[in-house]
Structures are given as C-alpha cells and as structure tokens.
A and B are shown apart, each in its own frame.
Chain A
Amino acid sequence: MSRPPRPQFLARDSYRMRRLMDAAKFLPLFGFVLLLLPLMRHSPDVEAPPTASEMVYLFLVWFGLILLALLMSLGLRRVLSAPPQKSDPSPLSED
C-alpha cells in the first residue's frame, strides 16, 4: 500500500522539530561512544588503574547526557501534546 505523499519541504518550526527528533535518536549513540572512551585510555602495563579520574569522567558524561535529555524532552513534549495529525511523524519515515 502506498503512503499518502508527505510534504517535501517544511516550515521553520516543523523543520526544527524534525531535527530535534533526529538529535533525540542520535543522543544514545553519542553517549555510548563517549562511555567507551575509558577503554582506550588505560594501558594494561600500569599496576593500578586511574579509577578516580575515570570515575569523574564517567559521571560528567552521565550528567551531560541527563542535561541534554532534559533539554530535548522539553521540545519533544510539544510533539506529544500536539493533536494527532494524519501523518503523525513516525520514526521510520520523516524528513
């Protein structure tokens, strides 16, 4: 079944909203990569690992993710509260 045609170009507001949704999808990926960084920092030859500094790093990344998620949720909440349109932005097809 073919879908109804979606508009090719969007007004500024809906454009911003779509990009915000994109950002929300990418956030966990970026977060995951940042969380993997400690793996590449430590050389196994050293006796004791630099646990304290890595802990500070990890908690900073963690807090950053929380802040970003908070900011994004403020915008995304508006998408959720918008009345359901005929072509509700589905995560599979939007641009």
Chain B
Amino acid sequence: MSFNMLVLTCLAYVILLFAVASAAERAATAGRAGWLRSPMIYTLSLSVYCTAWTFYGAVGYAARSGLEFMTIYLGPTLVFVGWWVLLRKLVRIGRENRVTSIADMISARYGKSNLLGVIVTLMCVAAGTPYIALQLQSISLSFTVFVLDPSEVGLTADPALIAFWVAIGLAFFTIVFGTRTLDANEQHPGVVTAIAVEAVVKLLALIAVGIFVVWFVATGPADILARIDAQALPQWTIQPGRWTGLILLSAIAIICLPRMFQVTVVENTEDKHLATASWAFPLYLFLISLFVLPIAVIGMELMPAGSNPDMFVLTLPLYLGQDGLALLSFLGGFSAATSMVIVASLALATMVSNHIVVPLWLRVRAARNLDSGDMRLLVLSVRRLSISLVLVLGYLYYVVTGGSEALAAIGLIAFVGVAQMLPALLGALFWRGASRTGAALGLVTGMVLWFYTLFLPSFGPGVFLSAQVMEAGPFGLAWLRPYSLFGLTTLDPLLHALFWSLLLNVLVFCIGSFLSFPSPMERVQSALFVNIYDRTGPARSWTRPVAEAEDLLPIAQRILGVSEGQNFFRAQADLQGKQGFLPDITPEFLEALELKLSGSVGAATAHAMLAQSVGTAVVSVEDLMAVASETAQIMEYSAQLEAKSEELSRTARKLREANEMLQKLSVQKDAFLSQISHELRTPMTSIRAFSEIMMDTDAMSPEERTHFAQIIHDESIRLTRLLDDLLDLSVLEHGQVQLNISTVQLRELLDKAIRSSESVQADRKFRILRNRDPEDIEVTTDAGRLTQVFINILSNARKYCITDDPQMQIKVRERKGMVEVDFIDNGAGIPRDKQALIFEKFSRLTDEMQAGGAGLGLAICREIMHNLGGDIAYVPGQGGAAFRVSFPRVLAPRAPAQKSAETVSEAAQ
C-alpha cells in the first residue's frame, strides 16, 4: 500500500472521529446527552488503558516472556472487580469536589496546597513523557512496516521524521478536540465519545487478527494450544517475583495513571457507571488479551527469523497477504496510540495549566497590581500550549532514546513513576492523619529514587549515567549502584526500583505525617475526603466572609465567562430567596462558588483566587474548634433530650397507672357507698315499718306487740353489727387498730374458736378432724383477733358447707417462722371465677340473705391477717373449700400507720 494512501486513510479516520466528537459535544450542550452518558460509553472510554503498547507491544511481550504479558491486564481486573473498596470512594470524592486531575485531587485533599499540585504535575509529566514517546514510536514504526514499496522507502526511512509529523498532527488534533470550547470545564463529553469509538475499533481489529490466526492459519483452539506448547521457550517460565510484582504494579497504575484518572474519575457522571464498568472493563481486557499469545506463537512460527515481534499484529497479516486485515490492524494500532495521546496530553495539560502556569500568572499580576483580565482565554491558551509542550517532550524523549527496541520496558518505567502517587492517594482516601508535609516528602523521595534507579538508566549507559556509574556506583560507592541499591542484587531492575521507591516513599510519607501538624484547611479537607459517605460535612472552609458580592462577580465572570458567571450568581441569589445578581456572601455561597471555579482551574487556584479577594478569611484552628465544640454541644444536647424524653415517657406511664388506679378506687368507693346504703336501708325499712304499725294500731295483742318489738330489736342488732363491722373494717384498713399482743397456745385458740362457732346453726353436726401434736405451738400475736378469723372461717363452713356428713379438717404447720393453719371442709368449694372475689367487701356467693351477714366477714379477716403480718388465702383443689391462714409465730410490734402509708404512696405512683 502506498504511503500517501495510508496517510489519507489516517486523515479520513481522524475526520470521522472529529465528526463524532463534535456531534457528541453538540448533543451534550443541547442537553440530549442521554446515550452519551451511558455506562457503556464510560466503560469503553476506560479502554484508553490499552495503548499502542497493548496493541503491538503485548504480542511482542508474549513472544519474549510468555504469559507474563497478562499481568498488565490482571492487575486492573482486580482493581475493577474490587471497585467497591477503592474506586467507588475515589470516584465519589472526585465528582463531589469537581476534581480536574490527579494533581488537583491530591492538592485539594492536602489543604488545597499548590506545592503538592506542582510536585504531582511534574511527576506525571516525567512519567507521561516516555509513554507518549512510546506511542509516537509505535505509530512511526507501523508506518515503516506497512510501506513495503521500495520506491517509497525513502519517505519512511527516517522514523524520527514520521514521529515528528505524527506529534504535530496529534497536538493539533488534541487541541481541537479537548480545548475546542471556551468553557474550560473539567469534563469533555466529545473526547470521551471519540475515545469510545476508538476503543471499539482497536478491539475489533485485534479480535479480527486473532480469529484469522486461530481459525484460518491454525485449525482451531486445540491446534493453537498444541502450537503454543511446541513454541514455548525456557524463558517463558513464570518468574514468581515479576509475576506478583507486575500484577500489583499494573493494579497501582490503573489507579494512578493521569489518563486513567481522567477517564475514570474526572469524566465520570454517575456511580452506577462504575458498577457496570466493574465487570465490563475486565471483560474488555479479557477480550483484548485472548488472542495475544496465539498471534505471538503463529508469528514466531511463520515469520522469518529476526522480525520484530512487537509488530506481529501488523506484519503477520501483511506477510500472509491479507492487506485488508492489515489495514484494519493498522487503524487499530493508530486508534490505540491516538486515544492515549489525546487523553494523556489533555490530562497533563490541565495539570500544567492549573497548577503551574495559572498560579504563576496570578502571582505576577498580583505583584504588579494588575487586574487579571479574562481568565478563560488564558486558561485555554495555556492548555493548548501545554498540550504542545507535552508532545514536544515526548518527541524529544523518543529522539534521545533513539527508539528503544522493547516497547514494554518503556511502559513499565512509566508505571513505576506514577505508582509513586499511590501512598499519597490512598492516604487521601483512608487516613485522616495523612498530612501535606508527609505527602510532599514521600512524593519527592519516591520520585528521586525512580529517577535514579529506573528512569535515568533507561536511556542506556552513557546518556545520563555513565557506564562506570552503572557498574561501580557514583564516586565508586558500590552500595549506590542504580540497579542494586544498598546491595540488593537479586531483584531485576524494575522490581528493584519499584521496591525501593515505594518502600521509602511510604516510610517518609508516614513519618512526615506523624511528625507534622496539619493546617486547619488540611484538617477540613481530610475530614471531607475520608468521611465522604457521611453526609454531615464537619466544617466549612469559609467561616468569616468579608468580601462583597460585587467584588466576587468579576472573578467568576473572568473564569466562567460573563453570562455563565452571571447565571451562577443569579441562581445562587435565587436559592437564598433574593432578587437580582448579588447573593448574600454566606459561607455556603463561597463554598459553592469555589467548587464551581475549581471545576475550571483546580481547587488550589480557585481557593487562592477567592482568598485573595475575600482577604485572609480562611478557616483557622479556632474556627475548627468552635465548629467541633458546637457539634459536640448539639450532640450532647440531643443526648440529653433523648434521656429527658425517656424520663418523661416513664413518668407519663406512671401517671397513667396512677390515674387508672384512682379511677378504679373511685368506682370501688361508689360501689361501696351504694352497698352500705343498701345494707343499712334494709333493716331500717323493717324497723320503720314495724314501729309505724305499733304506733298506728290501737288494738294489738300483747303477743303481737312482743313479736313486733322482737323484730325491731333483731333488726337494730343487725344494724349495730353492720356498723360495728364497718367501723372495724375501717379501723383495720387504716392500720389504726390496737393489737393486744400476748403469748398463747395455738391449740387453745382453735378450741375456743370451734366452741364459739358451734352456736351458728347449732342443729348441724360437724365432724372436726384435727391432729393435736402440731397444734402445740406457742404463738405471740393478738389472740382475740386471730380467734375472730378462725371463728369466721368455721362459721362460714357451717353456713355454706351443704353435705349430709359435713366435716372440717384443720391442719397446722410451721415453716420458717410462719405458722400456717389450713381449714378444709368437704363441701362443694368455691367456683373458680368467684375465688378472687370472696375477700372483697360485700361479696356474697349467693344473693340469699339467709346467711345473715353483710359480706364483710372475709374482708375483715383479710385486714386482720394483714395487720398481724400474715395473710389469708383460698387454696383451690383440696376437695372442698379450703382456707389457709398464715401469720408469723412471733409478731414484732410495729408502727401502726405504716401499712396505710404504703398503700397511699403506691396509689400515688
């Protein structure tokens, strides 16, 4: 194929990409970016990880070292499969803080320190330059390989010349792509879409070559596997150190590479896209890697000895006469290289402009007391200039190294360089104690070691480090030899550099953080980053606003553009409920403004600009402490409130209970009163009736008179007894009863009670069953009252035990100082539902009045027993009515009012 044809194809492809990008950008501006912001586009844009190094270099790598090439894709697979741990947090922080680059991220976390931004920017440029050189090399190499026509070999004889034109073309392309619009925002939907298209092209190209190799050159997978084993070289043996180390290194690189940070974090619009990418991106890498070893093996088998294995993807189809496939493969490699260069130079240019040029320019302007003018054009021109600068650096690296043979080596050197940012980045995410000083020292240490042990030696002996230094160390100090620092000779140079640089980097980072004291701004930011999932922002960076809105509007206009700036101010004023363009300068407003500005110029610059106009109104330690103590106070207050409300509900519960009790008591009292009235009224009625008869009737026989008088007398006695009982009960209930305590024989008390109770229904014969021995107990108590209880129980039995052969069993027992006397008859007993009621006042089991009592007997008994320190209870299931009277053998004298006081206090609770 002719050289011109090839160039034309490239141009047509680039124009297509440009059309896609501008269409995407127009759609995004019009708000129709739905499909542009799909997880698939996001995932495909991540494929910028697979550069020309992957496309061409992986096959060469596989040809040289067998399966080791897979480590470069297995590390990223692990990181994405484990996205929940790290990437999720990284992406969330990046989006919420409108981070513009990895340098911005680190600088923002460590107190918006521009120093850190500068360090990280320099590191990224240093590590990115060889990588860009690699892409230039691979494109120029692919041109050289493709053009076989001897008449045109002259054109491609000088790869450096091709690389030069490629660099210029890519710079132009990137400038037009990435800095096309005046809106210097952190996201570039157009670029992302173009990258996604390129991702598809390179994947299809590699798979096409792979399918051709497996099914058309070989006879299928089984044949390929057999050929792999046939071609396996001894140096393909997996080396444990390199295998493990490279998996880890590539895992680190996918997090820290500036271009990966750009597509993963900066261009991310939603957390959910990451969920899709967690499996889709590893799948992409899987597909990319699937045919690498087959292509390498077939290439080794078929290609003439001495062919560069790095170019097998291209040369193998050419060699086998598949020109169309070769062209597709060429376009794939071209896509891989261009997408990497575009994103990398865009990311690096953003860093250079935000962290080096703009701060410098602001400082110069401020020193000369000049107005900083419209910043947007400045920012854009700086970015354009930076893109060119980055590509020039890459080109220079390519020329100086003269096009190193192994592509893979260059890529890995860059990996180790960017890995130096890992400690500071992880510290930013997970360690609140990580400080600016520690991060800066760690970064510088790691960078110096990387330079000395890997980067400078990579140019080959004699370019920067003389062969003598490489062999014997500087000044003859053998322990400082670049490839075996401190005598570590067994590691290969890459692992050696990775080990020492990361180890000392982490060490210095930790020690620096332990020993330094962070500024207030750092502490605010560390809390904000580490606790990103806790929505309660602990503190604000602006606490004492002193500027006027009129002063801030020009700044915003200079950076965002006039209309965009005014819109933002109007929206903010609207949020505050104000009319017009000038919102109140609240800490919240300053926060929002700073965030908006940092989306364009980075956190450090945005903060510095606002601080300049607002005065030195940045947060101080005192403010932090005030906020902290305020929060603590609020929390303490709420804890107190919680305790109080618990106490309140407890009290309310008690009050409710007391109220219920009082209501019950009131009902009881009413019932009691109506009962008493009823009980008093019945005898009174008959007394009145009979006395009226006696008054009104003149002729009355003496018998009649005696009869009526007898009735009146009986009823009066009944009344008196009722009143006596009531009085008795009242005295007992209030614990005012006087107890005559004496020591007596229990047996005598029982004898007396049985004798007394025989007057009730004297015609009935009761058999009394007693065991006299246990009754032989001396008790010290109120003998009269106790006897009264016994009599009552026995009389009740005589009244209610309706059997032909009534009998009463009396059992006495002493237990732990308490005497228990059981009275068990052989009657019907008391139904279960009545058992709870019998001790209540006026409760009768039958409505019949023949019993003659008012239903106070057992109530009185219970009160007596309580007064005697004991109790009376009904014992169910004994074959008849059974009452158990229990009381202490020796009753201790007591304060009479105690019981009633307890009752009252219980009721009040």
Are A31 and B535 also in contact (CB < 8 A) when A39-B238, A39-B240, A80-B275 are?
A: no
Q: Is the interface of B mostly helix, strand, loop or mixed?
A: helix
Q: Using Cβ atoms and an 8 Å threshold, which residues of chain B touch A59?
A: 286, 289-290
Q: Using Cβ atoms and an 8 Å threshold, which residues of chain A touch B237?
A: 42, 44, 49
* B-contact bits for A1-21, CB 8 A (1 contact / 0 none): 111000000000000000001
* B-contact bits for A69-93, CB 8 A (1 contact / 0 none): 1101100110011001011111110
Contact-residue bracket for chain B: 35 or more
Chain A residue nearest to B538 in the complex (CB): A1
Q: Is the interface of A mostly helix, strand, loop or mixed?
A: helix
Q: Is the CB–CB distance between A54 and B80 below 8 Å?
A: no
Q: Is the CB–CB distance between B293 and A55 below 8 Å?
A: yes
Q: Using Cβ atoms and an 8 Å threshold, which residues of chain B touch A21?
A: 84
Q: Using Cβ atoms and an 8 Å threshold, which residues of chain B touch A58?
A: 67, 70, 74
Q: Using Cβ atoms and an 8 Å threshold, which residues of chain B touch A52?
A: 225-226, 228-229, 232
Q: Using Cβ atoms and an 8 Å threshold, which residues of chain B touch A67?
A: 279
Q: Give the residues from 216 to 232 in chain B that come closer than 8 angstroms, CB to CB, to chain A.
A: 225-226, 228-229, 232
Q: Using Cβ atoms and an 8 Å threshold, which residues of chain B touch A62?
A: 74, 77, 282, 286
Q: How distant is the Cα of A39 from the Cα of B279 in the complex, in angstroms?
A: 26
Let me know if B635 is at the binding interface, CB within 8 A.
yes
Q: Using Cβ atoms and an 8 Å threshold, which residues of chain A touch B236?
A: 48-49, 51
Q: Using Cβ atoms and an 8 Å threshold, which residues of chain B touch A53?
A: 225
Contact among B83, B233, B289 with A48 in the assembled complex (CB-CB below 8 Å)? B233
Q: How far is the CB of A85 from chain B (nearest CB, A)?
A: 9
Q: Using Cβ atoms and an 8 Å threshold, which residues of chain B touch A35?
A: 74, 78, 247
Contact among B77, B228, B275, B533 with A31 in the assembled complex (CB-CB below 8 Å)? B77
Q: Using Cβ atoms and an 8 Å threshold, which residues of chain A touch B282?
A: 62, 65-66, 69
Q: How distant is the Cα of A52 from the Cα of B236 in the complex, in angstroms?
A: 11
Q: Is the CB–CB distance between A1 and B628 below 8 Å?
A: yes
Q: Using Cβ atoms and an 8 Å threshold, which residues of chain B touch A56?
A: 225
Let me know if B38 is at the binding interface, CB within 8 A.
no
Q: How distant is the Cα of A36 from the Cα of B240 in the complex, in angstroms?
A: 8
Let me know if B773 is at the binding interface, CB within 8 A.
no
Q: Is the CB–CB distance between A73 and B275 below 8 Å?
A: yes
Q: Is the CB–CB distance between B229 and A51 below 8 Å?
A: yes
Let me know if B271 is at the binding interface, CB within 8 A.
yes
Q: Using Cβ atoms and an 8 Å threshold, which residues of chain B touch A65?
A: 77-78, 81, 282
Q: How distant is the Cα of A51 from the Cα of B292 in the complex, in angstroms?
A: 13
Q: Using Cβ atoms and an 8 Å threshold, which residues of chain A touch B240?
A: 39
Kindly name the residue among B81, B85, B233 whose own CB sees the greatest number of chain A CB atoms within 10 A.
B81
Q: How far is the CB of A75 from chain B (nearest CB, A)?
A: 10
* A-contact bits for B266-306, CB 8 A (1 contact / 0 none): 00000110011011001100100110010000000000000
Q: Is the CB–CB distance between A88 and B81 below 8 Å?
A: no
Q: Is the CB–CB distance between B279 and A90 below 8 Å?
A: no
Q: How distant is the Cα of A21 from the Cα of B82 in the complex, in angstroms?
A: 10
Q: How distant is the Cα of A80 from the Cα of B268 in the complex, in angstroms?
A: 15
Q: How distant is the Cα of A24 from the Cα of B290 in the complex, in angstroms?
A: 25
Kindly name the residue among B228, B271, B279, B632 whose own CB sees the greatest number of chain A CB atoms within 10 A.
B279
Q: Is the CB–CB distance between B631 and A1 below 8 Å?
A: yes
Inter-chain contact total with CB atoms closer than 8 Å: 136
Q: How distant is the Cα of A62 from the Cα of B659 in the complex, in angstroms?
A: 72
Q: How far is the CB of A3 from chain B (nearest CB, A)?
A: 8
Q: Using Cβ atoms and an 8 Å threshold, which residues of chain A touch B66?
A: 49, 51
Q: Is the CB–CB distance between A38 and B635 below 8 Å?
A: no
Q: Is the CB–CB distance between B271 and A51 below 8 Å?
A: no
Are A77 and B84 also in contact (CB < 8 A) when A36-B244, A49-B236, A66-B286 are?
A: no
Contact among B70, B238, B271 with A42 in the assembled complex (CB-CB below 8 Å)? B238
Q: Is the CB–CB distance between A25 and B84 below 8 Å?
A: yes
Q: How far is the CB of B437 from chain A (nearest CB, A)?
A: 25
Are A73 and B533 also in contact (CB < 8 A) when A24-B82, A28-B82, A56-B225 are?
A: no
Q: How far is the CB of A18 from chain B (nearest CB, A)?
A: 12
Let me know if B534 is at the binding interface, CB within 8 A.
yes
Q: Is the CB–CB distance between B243 and A39 below 8 Å?
A: yes
Q: Is the CB–CB distance between B228 and A28 below 8 Å?
A: no
Q: Is the CB–CB distance between B85 and A91 below 8 Å?
A: yes
Kindly name the residue among A39, A52, A81, A91 whose own CB sees the greatest number of chain B CB atoms within 10 A.
A52
Let me know if B702 is at the binding interface, CB within 8 A.
no
Q: Is the CB–CB distance between A54 and B272 below 8 Å?
A: no
Let me know if B79 is at the binding interface, CB within 8 A.
yes
Q: Using Cβ atoms and an 8 Å threshold, which residues of chain A touch B67?
A: 38, 51, 54-55, 58
Q: How far is the CB of B284 from chain A (nearest CB, A)?
A: 10
Chain B residue nearest to A2 in the complex (CB): B635
Let me know if B852 is at the binding interface, CB within 8 A.
no
Chain A residue nearest to B639 in the complex (CB): A2
Q: Is the CB–CB distance between A73 and B82 below 8 Å?
A: no
Q: Is the CB–CB distance between B535 and A69 below 8 Å?
A: no
Q: Using Cβ atoms and an 8 Å threshold, which residues of chain B touch A27?
A: 81-82
Q: Using Cβ atoms and an 8 Å threshold, which residues of chain B touch A31?
A: 77-78, 81-82
Q: Is the CB–CB distance between A91 and B229 below 8 Å?
A: no
Q: How far is the CB of B59 from chain A (nearest CB, A)?
A: 14
Q: Using Cβ atoms and an 8 Å threshold, which residues of chain B touch A73?
A: 275-276, 278-279
Q: How distant is the Cα of A44 from the Cα of B235 in the complex, in angstroms?
A: 10
Q: How far is the CB of B83 from chain A (nearest CB, A)?
A: 8
Q: Is the CB–CB distance between A32 and B247 below 8 Å?
A: yes
Q: How distant is the Cα of A3 from the Cα of B74 in the complex, in angstroms?
A: 38
Are A39 and B244 also in contact (CB < 8 A) when A49-B238, A63-B286, A91-B89 are?
A: yes
Q: How distant is the Cα of A62 from the Cα of B72 in the complex, in angstroms?
A: 13
Contact among B78, B85, B290, B635 with A32 in the assembled complex (CB-CB below 8 Å)? B78
Q: Using Cβ atoms and an 8 Å threshold, which residues of chain B touch A77?
A: 272, 275
* A-contact bits for B228-256, CB 8 A (1 contact / 0 none): 11001110111010011001000000000
Let me know if B404 is at the binding interface, CB within 8 A.
no
Q: How far is the CB of A12 from chain B (nearest CB, A)?
A: 21
Q: Using Cβ atoms and an 8 Å threshold, which residues of chain A touch B79?
A: 28
Q: Is the CB–CB distance between B279 and A48 below 8 Å?
A: no
Q: How distant is the Cα of A84 from the Cα of B228 in the complex, in angstroms?
A: 52
Q: How far is the CB of A2 from chain B (nearest CB, A)?
A: 7
Q: Is the CB–CB distance between B272 and A80 below 8 Å?
A: yes
Q: Using Cβ atoms and an 8 Å threshold, which residues of chain A touch B85?
A: 24-25, 28, 91
Q: Using Cβ atoms and an 8 Å threshold, which residues of chain A touch B82?
A: 24-25, 27-29, 31
Q: How distant is the Cα of A51 from the Cα of B798 in the complex, in angstroms?
A: 109
Let me know if B796 is at the binding interface, CB within 8 A.
no
Q: Is the CB–CB distance between A28 and B81 below 8 Å?
A: yes
Let me know if B531 is at the binding interface, CB within 8 A.
yes
Q: Using Cβ atoms and an 8 Å threshold, which residues of chain B touch A47?
A: 234
Q: Using Cβ atoms and an 8 Å threshold, which residues of chain B touch A55?
A: 67, 225, 228, 293
Q: How far is the CB of A81 from chain B (nearest CB, A)?
A: 7
Q: How distant is the Cα of A51 from the Cα of B224 in the complex, in angstroms?
A: 11
Q: Is the CB–CB distance between B77 and A48 below 8 Å?
A: no
Q: Is the CB–CB distance between A38 and B233 below 8 Å?
A: no
Kindly name the residue among A24, A28, A84 whose own CB sees the greatest number of chain B CB atoms within 10 A.
A28
Q: How far is the CB of B329 from chain A (nearest CB, A)?
A: 22
Chain A residue nearest to B230 in the complex (CB): A48
Q: Is the CB–CB distance between B238 and A90 below 8 Å?
A: no
Q: How far is the CB of A33 from chain B (nearest CB, A)?
A: 11
Q: Which residues of A contact B (CB under 8 A)?
A: 1-3, 21, 24-25, 27-29, 31-32, 35-36, 38-39, 42, 44, 47-56, 58-59, 62-63, 65-70, 72-73, 76-77, 80-81, 84, 86-92
Q: Which residues of B contact A (CB under 8 A)?
A: 66-67, 70, 74, 77-85, 88-89, 225-226, 228-229, 232-234, 236-238, 240, 243-244, 247, 271-272, 275-276, 278-279, 282-283, 286, 289-290, 293, 430, 531, 533-535, 538, 628, 631-632, 635
Q: Can you offer 27 A-B residue contacts whose CB atoms are under 8 A?
A: A1-B631, A1-B635, A2-B635, A24-B85, A25-B82, A25-B84, A28-B79, A28-B82, A35-B247, A39-B238, A42-B238, A44-B237, A49-B232, A49-B236, A51-B232, A52-B232, A55-B225, A58-B67, A59-B286, A65-B81, A66-B279, A66-B282, A68-B81, A73-B276, A77-B272, A88-B534, A91-B88
Q: Which 9 A-B pairs have the closest CB atoms?
A: A28-B82, A24-B84, A90-B533, A69-B279, A70-B279, A52-B225, A48-B232, A73-B275, A52-B228
Further 7 A-B residue pairs, CB within 8 A, beyond A69-B81, A89-B533: A38-B67, A48-B232, A51-B293, A62-B77, A66-B279, A69-B80, A76-B84
